[in-house]
Amino acid sequence: MKFTKMQGLGNDYIYINGFKEDIKNPAELSIRLSERHFGVGSDGIIIILPSDVADFRMRMFNADGSEGRMCGNGARCVAKYCHDKKLTDKTTFTLETLGGIKTLSCFLENGVTKTVSVDMGRAEFRAAEIPVLLDCDEVISKPLSTPVGEYTVTCVSMGNPHCVIFTECSPSELELDRIGPHFENHEAFPERVNTEFIRQLDESTLEMRVWERGSGETLACGTGACAAVAAAVRNGLCQKNQEICVRLLGGELYITCSEDYSITMRGPAEFSYEGEIEL
In the chain, CATH 3.10.310.10 sits at: 2-119+268-276, 127-260
| Per-residue model confidence (pLDDT) at position 151 | 98
At residue 89 the predicted structure's pLDDT band, cuts being 50, 70 and 90, is very high
pLDDT value at 241 more than 90: yes
At residue 120 the predicted structure's pLDDT band, cuts being 50, 70 and 90, is very high
Give the Cα separation of 46 and 163 in Å (integer): 24
Cα dihedral 110→111→114→116 (10° resolution): 140
| Per-residue model confidence (pLDDT) at position 98 | 95
pLDDT digits (tens, 9 = 90+) for 90-115: 999 999 999 999 999 999 999 999 99
Give the Cα separation of 67 and 122 in Å (integer): 21
Active site residue 82: no
Helices 222-234 + 72-84 axis angle, to 10: 130
Nearest Cα to Cα of residue 232 among 135, 154, 172, 133: 154
pLDDT digits (tens, 9 = 90+) for 121-137: 999 999 999 999 999 99
Which residues does the annotation place in the binding site?
Answer: 11, 62, 72-73, 160, 194, 212-213, 222-223
- Min mean pLDDT across 70-74, 92-96, 239-243 is at 70-74
| Per-residue model confidence (pLDDT) at position 90 | 98
| Per-residue model confidence (pLDDT) at position 91 | 98
pLDDT value at 57 more than 90: yes
- Quote the mean pLDDT of the chain: 97
Catalytic residue chosen out of the listed positions 71, 106, 155, 238 = 71
First-residue to last-residue Cα distance in the chain: 7
Active site residue 71: yes
At residue 279 the predicted structure's pLDDT band, cuts being 50, 70 and 90, is confident
Catalytic residue chosen out of the listed positions 106, 155, 163, 221 = 221
pTM: 0.89
Which residues does the annotation place in the binding site for substrate?
Answer: 11, 62, 72-73, 160, 194, 212-213, 222-223
Cα dihedral 190→193→198→204 (10° resolution): -100
**How much of the chain exceeds pLDDT 90, in percent?**
99
Give the CATH fold of the 127-260 domain.
Answer: Diaminopimelate Epimerase; Chain A, domain 1 (3.10.310)
Give the CATH fold of the 2-119+268-276 domain.
Answer: Diaminopimelate Epimerase; Chain A, domain 1 (3.10.310)
pLDDT digits (tens, 9 = 90+) for 186-235: 999 999 999 999 999 999 999 999 999 999 999 999 999 999 999 999 99
Give the Cα separation of 192 and 166 in Å (integer): 20
pLDDT digits (tens, 9 = 90+) for 174-183: 999 999 999 9
CA distances from 65 to 27, 48, 61, 264 (A): 4, 17, 6, 28
